[in-house]
Amino acid sequence: MAAEHYIGLMSGTSIDGVDAVLADFSTVPLRPLAQVHVAFPERLRHELHALQHSGADEIHRAALAANALMDCCAAAVKEVLAEAGLAPQAIAAIGLHGQTVRHRPELGYTTQLANPARLAEATGITVVADFRSRDVAAGGQGAPLAPALHAAVFAAPDRHRAVVNLGGIGNVTELPPGRPVRGFDTGPGNTLLDAWCERHTGAAFDNDGAWGAGGLVIAPLLAAFKADAYFALAPPKSTGRDRFHLAWVERHLASLQAPARPVDVQRTLMALTAQTIADAIAAHCGAVTEVLACGGGANNAALMRELQAALLPRRLTSTATAGIPVHAVEALAFAWLAREALAGRAAGMPSVTGARGPRVLGAVYRA
């Protein structure tokens, strides 16, 4: 069988850089051939954070940020090709997610910053982008999109599994044997943990959760966080930085009767991530017995301990035990989505997003 090489590029709500994965979809089981991470320059990272909110001269700034983002993506493509020992001509397409700056499916739109034409010109490779808009146009949430890959790679006929992505926003995919796949965003993953850590320590993230692990859960604050109406919504549902951000944390902190230590707030945010994921699985995926974690948070030992305690008696492991490194899963999903788009196959999953029907996702920019 001829090789089917695709590259997936993912820059998520953590806004730390772009993950690139190169895979050969003609192989079984599917495994990444190469993966790299290219960190964003500080200036771009700052601008992408700023563009999460309305501001002056947004259209101009967003266009320039999209161009800079594509330059990072082109660098990631070059690096992952070098690691795999392949030339651009060997790649069928790049699946490009872009950087989400607004996600308002209830208003009929979602915005991912990108300039796919610039990336196609820079790499000489066909680019497939804008995967979310068609699903939103069909009445869906446009997210999460990774469950289709999760079903293809992690479903097992004898196990009722769930896959949890611990990215900036947490999301869960339920893989029930013999029944439709379900998936939805649970709420904050790393986004609040990273932002609070950076504000109070200067570090972009809490390495291994060491700082937060030294704090104490503030029970009234955790209860206030969990009272947010999003957590009680039934799937399909999706969310992002539009809803969960530092101002949201500060509003709840203001209701406390006494000042809180920053480290205790970090510990409470860790509990929020773990408990809302576990609560969502219990409420909507109750028969699950095994949970596979992926995303950057799967490398946070303290968060994984917290999540395992919240999930009991369900067993928690990582996608690495099933052959896919935790940092590769989301980027691999967009390589898979690019392949489906070029084949004209509908990759949208109405059972996940709530769309009126399955749709072919993505716009193609030919090299």
Contacts of 140 (CB under 8 A, 6+ apart): 105, 236, 348, 350, 353, 354, 355, 356
Q: Can you list the residues of the chain whose pLDDT is less than 50?
A: none
> Position 355: which residue type?
A
- pLDDT digit string (tens) for 119-173? 999 999 999 999 999 999 999 999 999 999 999 999 999 999 999 999 999 999 9
The pLDDT of residue 1: 60
Q: What is the pTM of this model?
A: 0.94
Reported as type and span, the H/E element at residue 352 is: helix 350-353
User: Two tokens at 40?
Assistant: 């964003």
- Residue 2 has what pLDDT? 75
Say if residues 327 and 196 touch (Cβ distance below 8 Å): no
Count CA atoms within 13 Å of residue 178 on its CB side: 3
In degrees, rounded to 5, the angle at the alpha carbon of residue 151 between the alpha carbons of residues 145 and 152 is 105
> For position 313, what pLDDT does the model report?
96
pLDDT digits (tens, 9 = 90+) for 185-202: 999 999 999 999 999 999
3-class DSSP assignment, residue 356: coil
Q: What is the DSSP string of 283-334?
A: HH-TT--EEEEESGGGG-HHHHHHHHHHHTTSEEEEGGGGTS-TTTHHHHHH
Question: CA neighbours within 13 Å on the CB side: how many for 276?
Answer: 29
Cα gap 121→291, rounded to integer Å: 41
Domains, the chain, ranges and CATH? 5-142+328-365 (3.30.420.40), 147-322 (3.30.420.40)
In whole angstroms, what is the distance from residue 249 CA to residue 360 CA?
A: 38
